[in-house]
Structure 1
Amino acid sequence: MNRRTLIKNLSLSLGAAVIRTDSMARVEDNVFAYGLPVNPLHKPLDKPVTAITLGAGNRGNVYGNFAAKHPDLLKIVGVAEPIPLRNERYATKHQVPAANRFDTWERVFERPKFADAIIITTPDALHYAPCMKALAMGYDILLEKPIAPTEKECRDILALAKKTGRIVAVCHVLRYAPYFVKMKELIAQGAIGDVISVQHLEPIEHLHMAHSYVRGNWHNSKATTPIILAKSCHDLDIIKWVINKPAKQISAMGDLKWFRKENAPAGSTARCTDGCAIERTCPYSAIRSYYDKRQRLSVFDLPDDKTKHAEVIMEKLKTTNYGRCVYRMENDQPDHYITNIRFADNITASFSMEAFTSYAGRRTRIMGSMGDMVGDMKELVITDFRTDKQVKLVPQAEDVEGYKNSGHGGGDWLLARDFAQAVAQQNPKLLTSTIDESIESHIMGFMAEESRKKDKVMSITI
């Protein structure tokens, strides 16, 4: 076989794009499984990057688990967490000495700088202050999204990051997922010609909505952040990143339609445990979700002794918001939200965030002048109008240990890997989600919320 024939057999054409298939696994005709190649800028580290985690909840453990799995890259040397059980478990897992365990984030900064980086996975309203303090003290930062609850605070962090020269990586983890990386790459190569428009859907899934945005920590936008930022700044960001054009205008509609007091069924009670007449048939029954099916229990901080779980769960349902009727909460987050965006070159995008679905997992359709793409994060199907050929690409990545099917397509740990390399090499170019790259989609979110409330089209100025 000559070299030209070999190259042809190891590649496939999609419009102007040529995809090398020698690193892909052929699943069947025109179906290929792939992962991301090793970043050529990565280097063996002489020692791991050291980090202090502020907030040992779900997201803190996502990055903590990466450190536990890859101790040559990242080492957790401190933790701040006010809930004793979480503090103890995190410190034990990472062998954090007693002197480096704190009950509040403020106490971390009473000490001279004792690590390379700070991982900020505190609640949304507690991102700004610790980030500003960490920057002032010379730490590099891995900052969970959203950056901060207000546009001014986001811009303040950006300004201080530039002034201090520190690295601030925003956890826009979808930018690191092989699925979206390949989507962006193909668009840039012209696989579907010029992009004309985008449709993007985030189905939250009805029980996830009830858990996080009706009963849970993000149920009140004034105490945390609006749902367009708390849940969907990922989506605004990935649309903008894939298109790679600045946003010019945005408009939004949506409200809280269903989870309201006037929709409470007859016979329902303040809590699912109060003898509610329709509890057994209610799709949002806390007893069925948490007690019967044992779903989404990480927020309950259950003891290690599993024989006590039933008792603890039932007590939580009787005493916390997680046992309250979804129709009788102080929630104000919209349960359906539509955003329309005009980008440069008159590319349009529509984004829909929907609570009432039986499924989760982002769906995207990209319409181009010479083809289209349709995907659901599990597969990406590209059709070339010029040849009528269709190719299906199946992304593969190591997902978060302990949080399988995280919904981020493996992006969490790929971000953590790049962050460790960026800090070790002091090279922010290893990251695609530094704060100066990520702030535009936050501005889009703030403008969308203003548009929704004022019923007007907003111009976007970065």
Structure 2
Amino acid sequence: MNRRNLIKTLTLSLGGAIISTETLGKIADDTFLYKLPANPRHQPLKKTVTAITLGAGNRGTVYSNYAVKFPSDLKIVGVAEPNTFRNDKYTKTHNISQDNRFNTWEDVFKRPKFADAIIISTPDDMHYYPCMKALEMGYDILLEKPIAPTEKECRDILALAKKQGRIVAVCHVLRYAPYFVKMKELLAKGAVGRIMSVQHLEPIEHTHMAHSYVRGNWHNSKKTTPILLAKSCHDLDIIKWVIDKPSKEIVAMGGLTWFKAENAPAGSTNRCTDGCKVERECPYSAIRQYHDKMGRISVLDVPNELTEKSEKQKYILEKLKTSDYGRCVYRMDNDQPDHYIANIQFEDAVTASFSMEAFTAYHGRRTRVFGAMGDMVGDMEELVVTDFKTGKQTKFKPQAEDVEGYKNSGHGGGDWLLVKDFVQAVAHQDPKMLTSTIDDSIESHIMGFMAEKSRKTKKLEKIKI
């Protein structure tokens, strides 16, 4: 397909999203700006969809903030959160009645069903049981990834969802990002001809790695989930989604190399606040990250009444003296790999290579697609398609609005687009509104489980769906 025909035929339905030529705006020679149009499948709601959130942390807050912006579409009527600070804050944000505040997810299900849906944003290892209980009680579910920590549990949820006839939307939010929607559309329309192979890089960014997977909630795979599922199941899912063929086998390698005691610099201490002699020059300094730059401090639960920067910094410094976020990155009980590669064979001899890297100064996925008639290169800021026949390049730049208060989330504006489709799906009881139902998302999870098995056994593993 040459460049002229490619531009003329850009109209394709992709489950919950549609791109058309009317959304393209030429901003320079061979460069087009675009955004997703309104989904024509969406219909006016007869009533507001109600939901209960299990887990009022970062992800639970991101999804539920849609209700603050669009109260006629979604109303949060209950919350379960053992952290008092977060429970209080969440309750106030959504004006939740005291009767509908709970300490644990189990408490929610002691009551008869009192909402349309459940948002499950508990820790990774606490997805399975609340999801199964919610399905038993007839709730539709917005389920944060990963689906569950084991293959069996993922399959159990899928089976029960089918049996109960309930909607389970997995939060593979990249499927809703305009950047990846356009990537899939272009490839399906033959922009590079027959797809031969894909290279995909997830650069975690070094301080994000230290924050989430060395010091943070996901530092220990045995207590949560392996990093390939906790962080990169998005990426396996996107690779599978754009190739759009069954996966057959996978081989993986990687491990924890740098964030270990043997690499601790001379003069370092157990905590950055213990008088560490190299703290000022350490790229992973907790004092620099949280106190000086005040980055990623939502995990420290800074009280709202602290409005002055100096007050917040004083509070943060005290938190660093007692929480894992103040510990030396070389002296944590972490076991997550800091670099990881996986090679995947798909049907029709299509191959894909995936690389997860902690040691980058940047984030934002990078993807290269190699086809018989062209290639595609993208970095989430733009897609560049080169036509081998003409040598011409065409660039596509997405216009995407990130969630308010969570700019540069790395999800390309997909978070609220997912919630919007989920609300429509629940209101009209139509899972076709979604592109990430559990039926669609299960394969990439199996890929992840087999990759971990391969990494540990050092053998190629078959993928059986």
TM range (shorter): over 0.9
- Measure, in 1, the Cα distance between the counterparts of 2:240 and 2:217: 28
Deviations 1:49-86, CA, capped at 9 Å, x for gaps? 10001111100111111111111211111111111111
- Measure, in 1, the Cα distance between the counterparts of 2:349 and 2:322: 52
**Which TM-score applies when normalising by structure 2?**
0.96
Partner of 1:221: 221
- The 1:151–1:196 alpha-carbon spacing in structure 2 relative to 1, beyond 3 Å, is same
What SS does the corresponding residue of 1:319 show, helix, strand or coil?
coil
Partner of 1:124: 124
What SS does the corresponding residue of 1:377 show, helix, strand or coil?
coil
Shift of 1:23: 2.4
- Measure, in 2, the Cα distance between the counterparts of 1:347 and 1:379: 24
- Measure, in 2, the Cα distance between the counterparts of 1:289 and 1:27: 38
- Measure, in 2, the Cα distance between the counterparts of 1:437 and 1:419: 14
Partner of 1:14: 6
Asked if 1:376 is matched to 2:379, the reply is yes
- Measure, in 2, the Cα distance between the counterparts of 1:377 and 1:221: 28
Partner of 2:107: 107
What SS does the corresponding residue of 1:306 show, helix, strand or coil?
coil
- Measure, in 2, the Cα distance between the counterparts of 1:72 and 1:33: 31
Partner of 2:456: 453
Asked if 1:44 is matched to 2:47, the reply is no
- Measure, in 2, the Cα distance between the counterparts of 1:158 and 1:312: 44
Partner of 2:269: 269
- Measure, in 1, the Cα distance between the counterparts of 2:398 and 2:58: 25
Deviations 1:300-354, CA, capped at 9 Å, x for gaps? 0001123431222111111011111100000000000000000000000000000
What SS does the corresponding residue of 1:273 show, helix, strand or coil?
coil
Partner of 1:133: 133
Deviations 1:400-438, CA, capped at 9 Å, x for gaps? 111011111111111000000000000001101100110
Shift of 1:13: 2.5
- Measure, in 2, the Cα distance between the counterparts of 1:401 and 1:12: 37
Asked if 1:187 is matched to 2:187, the reply is yes
Contact in 1 for aligned 2:341/2:353 (Cα 8 Å):
yes
Q: Kindly provide the amino acid, as one letter, of the partner of residue 182 in structure 2.
A: K
What SS does the corresponding residue of 1:22 show, helix, strand or coil?
helix
Shift of 1:210: 0.3
- Measure, in 2, the Cα distance between the counterparts of 1:244 and 1:218: 30
Partner of 2:404: 401
Deviations 1:110-130, CA, capped at 9 Å, x for gaps? 110000000000100110010
Shift of 1:186: 1.2
Q: Kindly provide the amino acid, as one letter, of the partner of residue 214 in structure 2.
A: V
Shift of 1:386: 1.2
Partner of 2:291: 291
Ranges in structure 1 where 5+ consecutive residues have no aligned partner: 1-10
Asked if 1:350 is matched to 2:342, the reply is no
1:431 corresponds, among 415, 426, 434, to: 434
Partner of 2:14: none
Q: Kindly provide the amino acid, as one letter, of the partner of residue 432 in structure 2.
A: K
Shift of 1:243: 0.4
- Measure, in 2, the Cα distance between the counterparts of 1:22 and 1:211: 42
Partner of 1:391: 394
What SS does the corresponding residue of 1:14 show, helix, strand or coil?
helix
- Measure, in 2, the Cα distance between the counterparts of 1:299 and 1:259: 21
What SS does the corresponding residue of 1:365 show, helix, strand or coil?
strand
Q: Kindly provide the amino acid, as one letter, of the partner of residue 334 in structure 1.
A: P
Contact in 2 for aligned 1:15/1:191 (Cα 8 Å):
no
Partner of 2:366: 363
- RMSD of aligned residue pairs (Cα, Å): 1.2
Q: Kindly provide the amino acid, as one letter, of the partner of residue 345 in structure 1.
A: D
Q: Kindly provide the amino acid, as one letter, of the partner of residue 61 in structure 1.
A: T
Tell me which moved more, 399-408 or 225-234.
399-408
Deviations 1:159-186, CA, capped at 9 Å, x for gaps? 1001100000000000111111111111
Contact in 2 for aligned 1:272/1:285 (Cα 8 Å):
yes
Contact in 1 for aligned 2:203/2:365 (Cα 8 Å):
yes
Percent of paired sites with the same residue: 72
Q: Kindly provide the amino acid, as one letter, of the partner of residue 368 in structure 1.
A: G
Partner of 1:339: 342
Partner of 2:17: none
- The 1:41–1:70 alpha-carbon spacing in structure 2 relative to 1, beyond 3 Å, is same
The size of the alignment, in residue pairs, is 452
Partner of 1:8: none
Shift of 1:37: 1.8
Ranges in structure 2 where 5+ consecutive residues have no aligned partner: 12-19
- Measure, in 2, the Cα distance between the counterparts of 1:317 and 1:126: 26
Contact in 2 for aligned 1:53/1:121 (Cα 8 Å):
yes
Tell me which moved more, 111-120 or 88-97.
88-97
- Measure, in 2, the Cα distance between the counterparts of 1:251 and 1:14: 35
Partner of 2:16: none
Shift of 1:399: 1.2
Contact in 2 for aligned 1:365/1:374 (Cα 8 Å):
yes
Q: Kindly provide the amino acid, as one letter, of the partner of residue 321 in structure 1.
A: D
Contact in 2 for aligned 1:15/1:370 (Cα 8 Å):
no
- Measure, in 2, the Cα distance between the counterparts of 1:284 and 1:399: 27
What SS does the corresponding residue of 1:392 show, helix, strand or coil?
strand
Shift of 1:21: 3.8
